[in-house]
Amino acid sequence: MRIGIIGALDEELLPIREFTQHLERKHIRNRIYWHGDVYGHELYLTRCDVGKVNAAVAAQQIIDHFSVDLMFNIGSSGALSPELEVGDLVIATEAIQHDFDLSSWGLQPGEILFDAVTENGQLKFRSQQIFTCDKKISKLIMDVAHKLKFTEVLGHSPKIISGRILSGDQFIGQQTKANELWNILQGLCTDMEAAGIAHACTVNDVPFVCVRAISDKADHSATVAFTEFLQAAVVNYGKLFEKVIMQLE
């Protein structure tokens, strides 16, 4: 299987590169990829940088250049659910672009238009709000995660929770906005890339899965020591993904 792995930061990819065999660096146009193999699978890793457009572009380029069979996204995320704490891991079941807003047209937040045409002066289209993750592999990730002992993050032993995540080109650092997203869309957490990657994968019929580590509470405390968090969180990413890749068919 050919597997694409995308992180917004290089640091998020380091633990996976460490257990990847025959690792080589590829420079194609303006993007750097790392290619290697693990347990019979080929891995293609790249940093996408922050934001949904950057993430979608990176996903499309991996698909175009390497014809991957599966796409992983890893990274940090701000908690929206009250039950989440810094260091917890969220295994996504689906993703919504919370800042895509055509509510003035009567659509739901995050509902995106496709195949729009005008017929007899009327706009016709199909729409999609939710981009789903691959159920079989997401379940495998969940099963593997529950069997692992993870490194504590800031003195907290990580919980493993699955559910909806939200993405937008905004850093959510205000309690009022965090509450709004939680109340309206019931996303467990919010980031700036996952739903963009999910969108690109859906258009290309490539299965998508995502794991996010909670880096902050998406409120006034969102400036918690990110570097300290990241150092521990990436170790947990590495543990989880090595075991998951080992068990992929």
Q: How many CB atoms lie within 10 A of CB 24?
A: 9
Euclidean distance between CA atoms 172 and 170, whole angstroms = 6
Class of residue 218 by CB neighbours under 10 A (exposed 0-12, middle 13-18, buried 19+):
buried
**Structure tokens, 245:** 């890749």
**Structure tokens, 37:** 């193999």
Residue 202, strand partner residues: none
Active site residues: 12, 216
**Structure tokens, 165:** 């995540």
Torsion of CA 161, 165, 170, 174, to 10 degrees: -50
Q: How many CB atoms lie within 10 A of CB 198?
A: 31
Considering only the C-alpha atoms of the chain, give the largest distance between any 2 of them, rounded to a whole number of Å.
63
Euclidean distance between CA atoms 210 and 199, whole angstroms = 13
- 77 and 176 Cβ atoms separated by less than 8 Å: no
Tell me the C-alpha to C-alpha distance, in Å, between residue 227 and each of 153, 223, 231, 249: 11, 10, 6, 35
Residue carrying the six token digits 């009567």 = 106
